[in-house]
């Protein structure tokens, strides 16, 4: 992903992109103890809008609390700061990355005391899984499994969890695939490196649940709502590899990936190798929802105010 926004919000100040530094001995860098979000802003007929802002900020706060990193800003202040960052960077579509970290020099893994900071970047968003991703992508089952939530809780979006995604993603890339599908530690299908997964079999939409050590994706939640509203039964259950390989349709969902049909898993073809009818119906609604074209889901979008009209309470506190 290209990384060249103009300004980064750091603890209440908008600093130039090139000046957004932290100390090399910071705790988060060494031990992977930080939490973050990935959020998208889209152009709509009424201007820029952030998709499911509240849910992302709530997940950030939940993740931070679990990691003993209370964020020194309220939910409302974080939402304002995200809107302020988006407005200051004036780019659409954008990918917004809030990160909660301990940025001061502090070696020693048990450090609970270091100052907890919040940084928010907004950078240009592209298609994560490549330009062909709406036509279907090639994925492989990863040799790397998800860690059990008893070791690393999957509901928290922690930086350290992504060493696992990195290994799986690197293996898939080196093998010539666009994405990896990770199994949970019992061998059931869990998720992609940064996406949830859905399979469609005989008209029913299935997706793994929290017991498969997945991140409870906000796009996943949106897909479940849209599919249900379209009249398709949606079932959260353990999904076996065979159920995936013999599925009529399969697709990934995620903030960066949006909805990406899967056309191959290893050397197995999924359905007709083209996005299936149920996937296409769900995608059709989703891609209209994010443009603000479906009134029933209008509350999933938060308008980005013009820069002059944004005043962040957190910024005022400095």
Catalogue the active-site residues.
157
Residues numbered 227-266 forming contacts with ligand PMP, rule: CB under 6 A: 253-255
14 vs 283, which CB is nearer to ligand PMP? Answer: 283
d(CA 63, CA 222) in angstroms, rounded, equals 20
> Taking the C-alpha atoms of 255, 260, 266 and 269 in order, what is their torsion angle to the nearest 10 degrees?
160
d(CA 71, CA 120) in angstroms, rounded, equals 13
66 vs 109, which CB is nearer to ligand PMP? Answer: 66
Coil, strand or helix: which one is 120?
strand
14 vs 182, which CB is nearer to ligand PMP? Answer: 182
Q: Which of 215, 226, 283, 290 binds ligand PMP (CB under 6 A)?
A: 215
d(CA 48, CA 54) in angstroms, rounded, equals 16
Residues numbered 23-62 forming contacts with ligand PMP, rule: CB under 6 A: 38
Q: Which of 195, 213, 289, 301 binds ligand PMP (CB under 6 A)?
A: 195
147 makes contact with ligand PMP (CB under 6 A):
no
Coil, strand or helix: which one is 110?
coil
85 vs 255, which CB is nearer to ligand PMP? Answer: 255
In this structure, are residues 227 and 161 in contact, taking their beta carbons and an 8 Å threshold? no
Q: Which of 7, 138, 140, 220 binds ligand PMP (CB under 6 A)?
A: 220
d(CA 254, CA 196) in angstroms, rounded, equals 6
Angle between helical axes of 218-229 and 53-66 (0-180°, round to 10): 140
Q: For the chain, how many residues are written?
A: 318
Binding region for ligand PMP (CB under 6 A) out of 22-30, 112-120, 132-140, 211-219: 211-219
Q: How far is CA 109 from CA 28, 101, 175, in A?
A: 9, 14, 35
80 vs 253, which CB is nearer to ligand PMP? Answer: 253
Residues numbered 175-194 forming contacts with ligand PMP, rule: CB under 6 A: 191, 194
Residues numbered 102-141 forming contacts with ligand PMP, rule: CB under 6 A: none
Q: Is the dihedral of CA 157, 159, 164, 169 positive or negative?
A: positive
Minimum distance from CB of 126 to ligand PMP (Å)? 15
- Alpha-helical (H) ranges within the chain are 27-31, 53-66, 75-89, 162-174, 218-229, 241-245, 277-289, 313-317
Minimum distance from CB of 99 to ligand PMP (Å)? 13
219 makes contact with ligand PMP (CB under 6 A):
yes
Q: Which of 218, 239, 285, 301 binds ligand PMP (CB under 6 A)?
A: 218
164 makes contact with ligand PMP (CB under 6 A):
no
Minimum distance from CB of 290 to ligand PMP (Å)? 12
List interacting residues with ligand PMP (CB under 6 A).
38, 165, 191, 194-196, 215, 217-220, 253-255
């Amino acid at each position: 992903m290209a990384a060249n926004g103009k300004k980064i919000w750091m603890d209440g100040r908008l600093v130039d992109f090139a000046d957004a530094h932290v100390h090399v001995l910071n705790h988060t860098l060494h031990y992977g103890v930080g939490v973050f979000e990935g959020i998208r802003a889209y152009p709509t007929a009424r201007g820029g809008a952030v998709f499911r802002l509240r849910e992302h900020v709530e997940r950030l706060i939940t993740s931070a609390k679990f990691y003993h990193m209370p964020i020194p800003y309220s939910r409302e202040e974080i939402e304002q700061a995200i809107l302020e960052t988006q407005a200051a960077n004036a780019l659409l579509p954008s990918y917004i990355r809030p990160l909660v970290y301990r940025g001061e020099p502090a070696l020693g893994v048990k450090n609970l005391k270091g100052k907890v900071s919040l940084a928010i970047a907004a950078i240009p968003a592209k298609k994560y899984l490549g330009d062909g991703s709406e036509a279907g992508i090639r994925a492989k089952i990863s040799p790397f499994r998800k860690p059990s939530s008893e070791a690393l809780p999957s509901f928290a979006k922690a930086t350290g969890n992504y060493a696992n995604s990195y290994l799986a993603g690197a293996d898939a890339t080196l093998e010539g695939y666009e994405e990896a599908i990770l199994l949970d530690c019992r061998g059931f299908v869990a998720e992609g490196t940064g996406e949830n997964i859905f399979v469609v079999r005989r008209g029913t939409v299935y997706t793994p649940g929290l017991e498969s050590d997945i991140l409870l994706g906000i796009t996943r939640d949106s897909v479940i709502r849209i599919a249900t509203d379209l009249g398709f039964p949606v079932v959260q259950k353990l999904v076996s590899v065979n159920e995936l390989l013999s599925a009529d349709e399969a697709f990934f969902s995620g903030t960066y990936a949006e909805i990406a049909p899967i056309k191959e898993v290893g050397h197995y073809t999924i359905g007709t190798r083209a996005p299936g009818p149920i996937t296409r119906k769900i995608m059709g609604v989703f891609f209209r929802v994010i443009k603000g074209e479906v009134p029933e889901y209008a509350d999933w979008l938060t308008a980005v105010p013009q820069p002059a009209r944004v005043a962040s309470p957190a910024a005022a506190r400095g």
